[in-house]
Amino acid sequence: MIIVLDRAIRDDDKDRLRRFLTDKGFQVREIVGEEETIFGAVGLVGIDLREVEIQPGVVRVIPISKPYKLASRELKKNDTVIDLGPIKIGGPRIVVIAGPCAVESESQVMETAELVRNSGAVILRGGAFKPRTSPYAFQGLGEEGLRYLKAAGERFGMPVISEIVAPHQVDLFRDYVDLYQIGARNMQNFELLKAVGATGSPVMLKRGQSATIEEWLMAAEYLLAHGAENVVLCERGIRTFETYTRNTLDISSIPIVKKLSHLPVIADPSHATGIRDKVLPMALAAVAAGADGLMIEVHPRPDEALSDGPQSLFPVQFEKLMRDIEALSPVVGKEVSRIPHVRTKGGGGAGRTNKPRRAGEPGEAGDGRMLIAFQGARGAYSEMALRRYFHNESFTPFACRHFRDVFEAVLGGDAAYGIIPIENSLAGSVHENYDLVLRYPDLKIIGETKLRVEHSLIGVPGATFEGITAVYSHPQALAQCDDYLREHATWELTPFYDTAGSVAHIADEGNLAHAAIANAQAAEVYGMAVLKEGIETNPRNYTRFVVLAGTDEAEVPDANMASLVFSTPDQPGALFAAMKIMAEASLNLKKLESRPIAGRPWQYMFYVDVEIPTSQEGYAAALTMLEAAVEDLRVLGTYRAN
């Protein structure tokens, strides 16, 4: 049952209610949400719900209809997000787990770990105990393999996962892995599920070869009921009549399970297809279907692999897959998870801390959560981008009225970081922010994220299309929805300073005849109703945001992009000379734009974005040569571009 608690419930009443339920034989879990706090109570015993409803501090009691109680979306409306060291699984991110099918040697797993880490994987996989159909096949290195796997994970800063095959191995695995894996063959090994669940450790549960979705969720229920709180579900294909692939990847299970359960769901296209050329398209299909992550087998030399070589990707294939996932992720509203780099100075921020800031330090709220500044009202696209980029951190959004206020907040220490839009795929550069970046030399760009712009028509609850007379939004949003608004020519279009602010405005008014255009999340923030989604004229509408920090916190060791600005001497070929230096240093030019220099009519600064090669020596040499060839060269920031 779900027990909704009064927001003002006293601690002693809460403790008394918990004791009452446990004495009746129920397992009790407290779930704190944004809107309400609940107790989830499950057990084999029956009870009259009225006995619970009359307890002090109880608002209402709701029975759970699904047989899988703790895994059910009925118990927990919000997605579960699992902390795994610096990585979070679930929510607005795509986590990629990669590595060899089996750990074959220390050198092999070290080499593979470096390859997949450099390409973007964040969790290292590798089998030490291999359940094989043939008793004569390679069975793994056992504990020796676990030692090699752990050493590789520690060396490259990656949590590790490996498959456990028997209950007596629980204590052994505890010393080596961050995430237990229960394979398809053991999905209904209930004694193993009980033993692993009792550890309370994070665990990934693969779907059985012939298991229904409900059987899969009931297996997860075993883990949850015996103490596990962090369970990841993995769709790895089911056995069907088809023989062209090893298994049939049931992509439809991903959105189904995400509707039925709050647990994160990832896909394993390597085991599903058994053919490396099929892994890439099926991985992208799983991401498009809503998977929270992927598990991919990679081997430096698949032809020499002792296990599952035909389905293991070559390093170059995995690198391409990661680029494709990065291109696809904004379309599905997610961000590819990255291992945060550790900053050498300062503290706090985007998974880049050596130690947490103390409450009350600059850039933090009173509760110790760091403040991150953005322009607009709550629910703005900038806040959505902020939440995507800082998804690994505990933070409080700090709304600013103007873009300049964001810069001032970071510079003055009122916010730890700031995020601003810099470029739109349809409207082009946000020139005001390019100019502000130049005017605030004590701030640097340390990161970027891209967000798809999806506009919705939002009204007061109870509003109808027939009753609307006026629509509020930012002028750019109104223009981007021109085709839809032309169909409603009688509506009066009223420009507003901000999309989310226009939603706040109609919420304050409470006028059923007034609507706003903004993202659907803004409707949730202000308790408004989405009347129609996807009203933008061009669905290929993306905005690129950059993250700002103080210069003492702007070091990004794994940077692959640099933003520069400079002017050139007033002579023929000056810009060409600068471009030639970059070309000869193999710096791929991604953007070139000119802006007028304030106070110097008809003279211009050039803003340049360049890709930094893996070896940064050429980049450093090019900067030295540019300083001699141009005027007023400034590095606005080096960062990791997705």
Say yes or no: 463 and 577 in one domain. no
As given in the structure block, the two tokens for residue 45 are 């015993």
Q: Are residues 120 and 151 in the same domain?
A: yes
pLDDT at 296: 97
368 inside domain: no
Give residue 86's pLDDT.
78
Q: Domain containing 192 — which CATH number? A: 3.20.20.70
Within-domain flag for 396: no
55-82 residue pLDDT tens: 888 888 877 778 888 899 988 888 999 9
Q: Is the pLDDT of residue 409 over 50?
A: yes
Of 353, 354, 408, 417, nearest to 389 by C-alpha is 417
Catalytic site residue from 395, 407, 545, 566: 545
* CATH number of the domain to which 32 belongs: 3.30.70.1140
> In the annotation, is 545 catalytic?
yes
Give catalytic status of residue 133 as yes or no.
Answer: no
**Over 80: is that where the pLDDT of 570 sits?**
yes
Assess whether pLDDT exceeds 50 at residue 561.
yes
The reply to whether 32 and 148 lie within a common domain is no
Same domain, yes or no, for 51 and 199?
A: no
The answer on pLDDT for 358 being more than 60 is no
Record the tokens describing residue 85, joined without a space.
């060291």
Res 174 pLDDT > 80:
yes
Is the model's pLDDT at 401 over the cut of 60? Answer: yes
The number of domains in the chain is 4
Q: Residue 625: which CATH number?
A: 3.30.70.260
Flag whether 523 is in a domain: yes
Same-domain status, 571 and 630: yes
Cα separation, 103 vs 166, whole angstroms: 18
Higher pLDDT, 479 or 329: 479
**What CA–CA distance (Å, rounded) separates 250 from 216?**
13
What's the rounded Cα separation, in Å, for the pair 498 and 475? Answer: 9
Same domain, residue pair 224 and 331: yes
Q: Which pLDDT band, with edges at 50, 70 and 90, does 104 fall under?
A: very high
Task: Report the share of the chain in percent with pLDDT over 70.
Answer: 93
| Better-scored residue on pLDDT, 544 or 603 | 544
Cα angle 418, 422, 427 (rounded to 5 degrees) comes to 145
- Per DSSP, the residues of 454-518 read --EEEE-TT--GGG--EEEE-HHHHHHTHHHHHTTTTSEEEE-S-HHHHHHHHHHH--TTEEEEE
> Residue written as tokens 């080596």?
176
Q: Side-chain half-sphere of 111: how many Cα atoms within 13 Å?
A: 13
Helix (H) or strand (E) holding 118: helix 106-119
Residue 606 lies in a domain: yes
- Looking at the domain assignment, is residue 155 inside a domain? yes
pLDDT > 90? residue 537: yes
User: Is residue 435 included in any domain, yes or no?
Assistant: no
Active-site hit among 499, 543, 568, 638:
543
Full residue range of the structural domain in which residue 37 is found: 2-62
pTM: 0.69
By CB neighbour count within 10 A (0-12 exposed, 13-18 middle, 19+ buried), where does 345 fall?
exposed
Q: How far apart are CA 48 and CA 353, in angstroms?
A: 50
Find the angle CA(454)-CA(457)-CA(462) to the nearest 5 degrees: 140
Please name the residue that has the structure tokens 């991919």.
296
Task: For residue 121, give the nearest of 99, 100, 96 by alpha carbon.
Answer: 96
Indicate whether 461 and 529 sit together in one domain. Answer: yes
Contact between residue 422 and residue 434 where contact means Cβ atoms under 8 Å apart: yes
> Residue 66 has which token pair?
């699904």
247-278 per-position pLDDT tens digit: 999 999 999 999 999 999 999 999 999 999 99
Q: What is the pLDDT of residue 143?
A: 95
Same domain (yes/no): 523, 626: no
Q: pLDDT band for position 461 (50/70/90)? A: very high
Residue 136 has pLDDT above 90, yes or no: no
pLDDT of residue 210: 93
What pLDDT is attached to residue 116? 95
Q: By three-state DSSP, how is residue 580 classified?
A: helix
Residue 363 pLDDT = 62
For the packed helices 431-439 and 403-411, what is the interaxial angle rounded to 10 degrees? 20
Domain membership of residue 493 (yes or no) is yes
Query: Looking at the domain assignment, is residue 403 inside a domain?
Result: no
44 plus 111 within the same structural domain: no
Shared domain check, 38 and 105: no
Instruction: Count the Cβ atoms, other than its own, within 10 Å of residue 544.
Output: 21
- Structure confidence at residue 128 (pLDDT): 94
The arrangement of strands across the sheet holding 600-611 comes to: 588-597, 600-611, 561-567, 631-639
112 and 9 in one domain? no
The two three-digit tokens of residue 471, written as one number: 């629509």
Does one domain contain both 45 and 102? no
Distance CA 230, CA 214 (A): 19
* Residue 520's CATH number: 3.40.190.10
